[in-house]
Amino acid sequence: MNGFLSPEEWTAIGLSLKVSSVATLVSLPVGIAMAMLLARGRFFGRTLLDGLVHLPLVMPPVVTGYLLLLAFGRKGPLGAFFEHTFGLVFAFRWTGAALACGVMGFPLMVRAIRLSIESIDHKLEQAASTLGAGRALVFLTVTLPLALPGILAGVVLSFARALGEFGATITFVSNIPGQTQTMPSAIYALIQTPDGDAAALRLTAISIAISLAALVLSEFLARRVTRGGAA
């Protein structure tokens, strides 16, 4: 296999998988909380919050990337906060790529989870509470398991979006091989170089293969979850 792909190409693939996985896993708890809030919360400004969550879906990715750069760059207010408090730097690092990917995939994830939470019969949660469960336990033992198909769908959508994310990432963290050069950035760079066609095609094929594998895996998991109980 090593002969098939150059070390740079392997790096891009590895980085892409790492960035997408981290982006998806870190945004998952936040996504579940946000979906729960939007599905069940009754508070002032819910529509506004809903709009904000959906913004990255409708804004040009370059705009999202630029806003991230302003906020999370080393001189940005949030970037400075994270650097001082946690020693976490986003600018021109793979962590920044993961942040950009997570933000871009967030609306899709929240949407899928929210829909499945909304479809859960609230009466089941009431039944759980009459059996002695407090709110946290009702959520953990009834809401969460019943929302599992939606959570799975949200994870797959967000992961796929992260894998393909280009505009926001390149705007926010540039295109540094080994650091922020994910597959789409690598393909883009290869197309710009005179002899890059063959390599670009190879990465394209890998891209398709990973996407397909993710789809098949999610289909398989969704079927197992459904068979396991949730109707």
157 binds other proteins (CB under 8 A): no
Give Cα separations from 146 to 90, 149, 196, 224 (angstroms).
35, 7, 48, 13
Q: Toward other proteins, which CB reaches closer, 3 or 228?
A: 228
230 binds other proteins (CB under 8 A): yes
Could you give the CA distance from residue 8 to residue 20 in angstroms, rounded to a whole number? 18
Rounded to a whole number of angstroms, the minimum distance from the CB of residue 222 to other proteins is 14
User: Hey, what amino acid is at 227?
Assistant: R
Under DSSP, is residue 105 helix (H, G, I), strand (E, B) or coil? helix
176 binds other proteins (CB under 8 A): no
Out of 127, 140, 176, 208, the residue judged to bind other proteins by CB under 8 A: 127
Q: Toward other proteins, which CB reaches closer, 17 or 133?
A: 133
Binding-residue total with other proteins (CB under 8 A): 22
Rounded to a whole number of angstroms, the minimum distance from the CB of residue 144 to other proteins is 10
Question: Are the CB atoms for 225 and 148 separated by under 8 Å?
Answer: yes
Q: Which stretch binds other proteins (CB under 8 A): 123-131, 159-167, 191-199, 202-210?
A: 123-131
Question: Are the CB atoms for 50 and 41 separated by under 8 Å?
Answer: no
Q: Toward other proteins, which CB reaches closer, 141 or 218?
A: 141
Which pair of tokens denotes residue 105?
A: 């995939």
145 binds other proteins (CB under 8 A): yes
Residues of this chain, 10-39, that bind other proteins according to CB under 8 A = none
Which pair of tokens denotes residue 68?
A: 């991230």
Helices and strands of the chain, counted as H and E runs = 12, 0
Out of 52, 137, 191, 208, the residue judged to bind other proteins by CB under 8 A: 137
Could you give the CA distance from residue 176 to residue 191 in angstroms, rounded to a whole number? 16
* Angle at alpha carbon of residue 21, lines to 16 and 25, rounded to 5°: 155
Out of 6, 45, 46, 126, the residue judged to bind other proteins by CB under 8 A: 126
Q: Give the interface with other proteins as residue ranges (CB under 8 A).
A: 121, 123-124, 126-134, 137-138, 141-142, 145-146, 228-231
